[in-house]
A = this chain, B = another copy of it.
Amino acid sequence: MNEINALFHPHSIAIIGASNNPKKIGYQILSNIISSGYEGKIYSVNPEAKEILGIKAYPSIKEINDDIDLAIIAIPAPYVPSVLEECGMKKVKVVIVISSGFKEIGNIALENELLSIAKKYGMRILGPNVFGIYCASSKLNATFGPKLVYPGKIALITQSGALGIALMGWTNMNKIGLSAVISIGNRLDIDESDILDYLSLDSETKVIIIYMEGAKDGRKLMKSLYSINKPVIIIKSGRSKIGSIAASSHTGSLVGSDIVYTTAFKQCGALRAYDVLQAFDWAKVMSMQPPPINDEAVIITNGGGIGVMAADACEEYGVKLSILPEDLQYQFKKIIPFFGNAKNPIDLTGQANEEDYYKALEIALKDDRIGSIILLYCQTAITNPLKIAESIINACSDVNKTIVTCFIGDIECENAMKKLEENFIPTYPIPERAVSSLAVYYKWLKYKKRKINPTISF
């Protein structure tokens, strides 16, 4: 665990293959590490340079007169073993082998050589064929992906490099906060289970998303999934016939029977998502909101139509819509026009402004008989989406109760939605996605309560 910790929180890093050429991966990684604000010591290794990006370059890691926690290797595959040997002699704790050209193109012997060297010295290896690691709490962006990452509480473990890099950009644009990104690539040594075990103890990570085409070691993964006390959302692709062939050509993974994965995930309380948006939809509410205090959900809306859609989705995804007690209906009635609806879904009508939303929310937030809130808003000519958002933020600042929201409208709505999420109130573009995400939160709580013993023994 000490070595895995050094992967996320190294005191010192050596980038072997650092370069002054902006087109080289060794340049991009060093440049990202520097600009991410990493506070440990950074060393660059390149026998052909004296200085790289303002940092003194060493001809070899051996020449560095300091202990190195993490070495990052970004040189052509054939040269990796000898450099790894040097890392071992230098007592490096953990090495990220960025380089590709190993198992994924059939060079199995070369890849196995790396493992024996690492074992000889008790070093751990992440990779080969990875884009690196990002860790928000150590301000470390040791990837050749985008420079900017939006920090938060979701960890992303990805077997696909291209997808992982693209999602770093996508989450940053959408201000979806990440605690860590780990590219696991060929998983010669460190695999998704090792990372899960580490993240289970990481106070910065609330939810974990894994993209995988196949587990490296099924039993080990089940053990880790079963032990972890945080929601783990898994996108497992390669379900289809052609998809599984493509996966084996892509990462060399044996994707295995899909039904086995479904069963195993269920037994271990892991949440299986079927696409990337779904995974982040779910992760948003579980990373931003407290768990619901009971099963009774309430819909508050200014549009009858989206209220009906949300009610349909509640039935579909298994969210229980509360049958409101008379006294609670009476409280809502007092703030709703006579042509509205004080029964769940509560229809404030198109006339509802920010004050009406505030009052309705206040009732729902303060009453302990309501466990969660689905708040919907259709933009109208007479209301200001930003003011509605501020109203929601204010109401929620007093009482901590699970809320998901859906705003539909133009750019003003989009800005209001950004404001909501900056204040940790998850928001979705359609009611169905808000409800599906809340439903998964409920589902996970149920998994957590009654984790059954897996019938497949570890």
- By a beta-carbon cutoff of 8 Å, the part of chain A in contact with chain B is 23, 28, 100, 104-105, 144-146, 158-163, 165-167, 169-170, 172-173, 211, 213, 235, 237-247, 249-251, 274-277, 302-309, 311-312, 314-316, 321, 338-339, 341, 343-345, 347, 350, 378-382, 408-414, 429-433
Contact = CB atoms under 8 A, between A and B. Distances in A.
A173 to B, nearest CB: 5
A242 B311 contact: yes
B240 A314 contact: yes
B165 A381 contact: yes
A432 B239 CA distance: 13
B170 A410 contact: yes
5 contacts: A162-B304, A166-B379, A211-B305, A239-B316, A250-B304
A169 B410 contact: yes
A14 to B, nearest CB: 21
A316 B274 CA distance: 11
Given A166-B303, A170-B408, A249-B341, 18 more contacts: A23-B382, A159-B305, A162-B303, A163-B303, A169-B410, A170-B410, A170-B429, A239-B315, A240-B314, A242-B314, A242-B344, A243-B312, A247-B304, A250-B341, A250-B347, A274-B432, A275-B433, A276-B309
B414 A240 contact: no
Counting every copy of the chain, the complex holds 2
A76 to B, nearest CB: 14
Nearest to A436: B275
A339 B105 contact: yes
